[in-house]
Amino acid sequence: MLNVIKIINGSVRRVFYHSYGSDSVKTRSSRAAVVCLVLLCVLLLAAVIVLGVHIYTNNTNYTQERDLLLTKITNLTEDRDDLQTKINGLTEDKDQLLTNSLTEERNELIIKNRNLLNERPHLKNELQLLCKEDEWIYYKSSFYYMSNERKSWTESRQDCLKKGADLIIINSSEEQDFVKNNTVKREFWIGVTDIDVEDIWKWVDGSTLTSGFWASKEPNGGTIENCAVTYLTRWPDLLGWLDVRCNDAYQWICEKSIWP
């Protein structure tokens, strides 16, 4: 029923209309909408329940897996700590053994060194006696023989070789001073020559002479003076080595190292 107000001939009137067909259609539509809404709510609720159950189940599984992993991590951590403790113990044992071993070796070396120091003066005296008996002089790990005879450079070297030595090789200023002090104003062959290649002076061991203790303006003999002596009495002002003819006769110095 519709309530309509109309103005007829200048007066207001209320007119009522009945519309039975349209009300029935609206009622059915409303009911269908309600039913659909209810079904939708039911489906939504079911979906929420299923989703909740699924999430709960997954969370339960994840929690169990997490707890299992945490347990494994805890066990591994404990095992690691145990291993570290054992390693530390072994390291301490090793260090202690090493310390003990080094201490023993050090003590043995100290005792040996003390014994050697105690024996040194006695051994030195014996060495000096032996050198004097055989006419050898000991100096810085080498023995030196100063001859009293005079021979050519080649013959002098042969004599040294027979003695298990060779003509002296002077390697340092200290050794040069030693020779000078033991051959004052005497003429001795030394083991250097340029007989193979002129002006290339070599020692008897084959090494090339790089720096020597030559007298002023020496060597100066050219091709005829290919061997060297420590001093020449005819030239007393020349201090140092001089080159001379190898066939001349002079005393000689043999040198023999105590090391093979």
Enumerate the domain spans of the chain: 2-70, 135-257
- Asked whether the whole model's pTM tops 0.75, one would answer no
10-residue mean pLDDT profile of the chain (260 residues): values are: 51 51 62 80 84 78 78 82 83 80 82 76 64 78 93 98 96 94 92 94 95 91 90 86 96 89
Strands (E) in the chain, as ranges, are: 2-8, 11-17, 136-139, 142-146, 166-167, 188-193, 202-203, 227-229, 242-244, 251-257
> And the tokens for 52?
């909740």
The pLDDT score that the predictor gives to residue 69 is: 79
Please list, in sequence order, all residues whose beta carbon lies within 8 angstroms of the beta carbon of residue 204, skipping any fewer than 6 positions away: 157, 166, 167, 169, 191, 192, 193
The pLDDT score that the predictor gives to residue 130 is: 57
The pLDDT score that the predictor gives to residue 127 is: 63
Is there a contact between 17 and 2 (Cβ–Cβ < 8 Å)? yes
3-state helix, strand, coil in the chain (%, to 5): 55, 20, 30
What is the CATH topology of the domain spanning 135-257? Mannose-Binding Protein A; Chain A (3.10.100)
